Amino acid sequence: MADKAINAAFDTGTAPVVDLHGVSRQFGDRPALQDITASIARGEIIGLIGRSGAGKSTLIRVLNGLDRPQAGRVVIAGQDITDLDEAALQPIRRRIGMIFQHFNLLSQRTVAENVALPLKIAGQPPALRRKRVLELLDLVGLADKADQYPAQLSGGQKQRVGIARALAPDPLLLLSDEATSALDPETTHSILDLLARVNRDLGLTILMITHEMEVVRRIAGRVLVLDAGRIVEEGPVARVLASPQSDTTKSLVSGLSPSLPADLVALLAPTGDQAILRIDLTGRAARLPVLQRISRLTGQEARLLHGGVGDVQGEPYARLFIALGTADATIIAQVTADLSPIATAIEVLGYVPDHV
């Protein structure tokens, strides 16, 4: 009866799937999580990104009740799990699916038996288990592999089995722990496409834990950046890619956003003939004719030195490095004021000679 009551609350409630309030966890004198406050709405795909040791694994354990915070509250779909005992945690934990970097399949069980395992543990009758397993294997594109063993599968197929197993108990929240790190790029893309389809078709909330910003760019709508146990930045993925604020984020996205070439960086000086501007834009603004806009405003020829336009699931973002054609402070201020309403960030990087 307790399971049914919890499932009903999970499935019909409007509370965020995850609500963290000031969560902290320390091991000895080493802080693993420091005052984490974050919320994940139903149906969101969130990227949680950070380097090794940032606290990602500890946060996963806190979310599924395997570890307890020393301060703060952990609320899952409106249920405060912070101080629940093991018996009370079990029905909640069953609604949290988990997929792993190294698949964690049982080698002596068939694909179908691996997928059925959480249903068997929950006491579901064999006929219902079989029906659910076949549905899930069809969903992940492995309907013809039900009677094979993990050793007969490729890495991508093993991860699809892991996803089917995680979906078996109809979770409300899916935690993906570096699920694509062991896969080649093509297989990674196919797994991310599958997770996006699962999110879209089932309305499943997904938290992607990764150290790869490319994974976040392809699938997530919002990103949380973790460093030394703290959230140092969060926001829509397109905005964070276009204009990262923290040093950690800048490092993590460095391969995905254009940077000024080294030969131009070497020419930058505190004074010079023309200013070099970095302009970050997202959404519709990323595709506006910025150079023409600046030229009309100032009467100066603005030139694009470097940059590019990217895309996050249909949301464009751009980073442009522009030679303004003048070093006049009044004109620079005029350009900055004009572009500020549409840009996420504008920065004068320095000045270069006329011939650049």
CATH of residue 15: 3.40.50.300
What CATH number is attached to the domain comprising 303? 3.30.70.260
Cα separation values, 117 from 4, 106, 174, Å: 20, 10, 17
Residue 143 lies in a domain: no
Per-residue DSSP letters for 176-202? EESTTTTS-HHHHHHHHHHHHHHHHHH
| Beta partners for residue 352, in sequence order | 274
Residue 2 has pLDDT above 50, yes or no: no
Residue 81 lies in a domain: yes
pLDDT tier at 1 (50, 70, 90 boundaries)?
very low
Residue 151 lies in a domain: no
Residue 8 has pLDDT above 80, yes or no: no
Please check whether residue 209 is in contact with residue 48, taking contact to mean a CB–CB distance below 8 angstroms.
yes
Residue 11 lies in a domain: yes
**CA–CA–CA angle 68, 72, 76 (5° rounding):** 70
Residues 266 and 238 occupy one common structural domain: no
The pair of three-digit structure tokens given for residue 74, joined into one six-digit string: 């952990």
**CA–CA–CA angle 184, 115, 155 (5° rounding):** 15
Residues 189 and 207 occupy one common structural domain: yes
Single-letter amino acid code for the residue at 325: G
* Final residue in a domain of this structure, among 195, 219, 252: 252
Q: pLDDT exceeding 90 applies to what percent of the chain?
A: 72
Residues 8 and 59 occupy one common structural domain: yes
Residue 149 lies in a domain: no
Distance separating alpha carbons of residues 98 and 232, to the nearest angstrom? 25
The predicted structure's pLDDT at residue 11: 60
Cα separation values, 22 from 30, 73, 124, 251, Å: 17, 7, 38, 26
H-assigned helices in 288-328: 290-298
The predicted structure's pLDDT at residue 14: 75
**24 or 308: whose pLDDT is higher?**
24
Residue 351 has pLDDT above 60, yes or no: yes
The pair of three-digit structure tokens given for residue 1, joined into one six-digit string: 């009866």
pTM metric for this prediction: 0.84
Q: Positive or negative, the Cα torsion across 41, 46, 49, 52? A: positive
Residues 329 and 180 occupy one common structural domain: no
* Final residue in a domain of this structure, among 252, 281, 307: 252
Domain that holds residue 291: 262-352
Residue 111 lies in a domain: no
Single-letter amino acid code for the residue at 123: G
Residue 220 has pLDDT above 80, yes or no: yes
Tens-digit pLDDT profile for residues 82-125: 999 988 998 898 899 999 888 889 999 999 999 999 999 888 99
Distance separating alpha carbons of residues 299 and 337, to the nearest angstrom? 16
Residues 232 and 305 occupy one common structural domain: no
Residues 246 and 316 occupy one common structural domain: no
Residues 231 and 299 occupy one common structural domain: no
Residue 197 lies in a domain: yes
pLDDT tier at 356 (50, 70, 90 boundaries)?
confident
Residues 8 and 89 occupy one common structural domain: yes
Residue 222 has pLDDT above 90, yes or no: yes
* Final residue in a domain of this structure, among 252, 286, 317: 252
Domains held by the chain: number: 2
Residues 49 and 188 occupy one common structural domain: yes
Residue 109 lies in a domain: no
Tens-digit pLDDT profile for residues 120-147: 988 899 999 999 999 999 999 999 999 9
Residues 325 and 198 occupy one common structural domain: no
Interstrand relation of 71-76 and 79-80 (parallel, antiparallel or unpaired): antiparallel
Pairs from 27-32 (Cβ < 8 Å, separation ≥ 24): 31/228, 31/229, 32/58, 32/229
Residues 199 and 281 occupy one common structural domain: no
Distance separating alpha carbons of residues 200 and 124, to the nearest angstrom? 27
The predicted structure's pLDDT at residue 342: 94
The predicted structure's pLDDT at residue 28: 87
What is the three-class DSSP state of 105? coil
What is the three-class DSSP state of 293? helix
Please check whether residue 335 is in contact with residue 276, taking contact to mean a CB–CB distance below 8 angstroms.
no
Q: Hunting for tokens 């030195």 — which residue is that?
A: 305
The pair of three-digit structure tokens given for residue 220, joined into one six-digit string: 């997530």
Residues 312 and 202 occupy one common structural domain: no
What is the three-class DSSP state of 96? strand
Residue 161 has pLDDT above 90, yes or no: yes
Tens-digit pLDDT profile for residues 71-85: 999 999 999 999 999
Single-letter amino acid code for the residue at 230: R
The pair of three-digit structure tokens given for residue 28, joined into one six-digit string: 């000895």
Distance separating alpha carbons of residues 177 and 155, to the nearest angstrom? 16
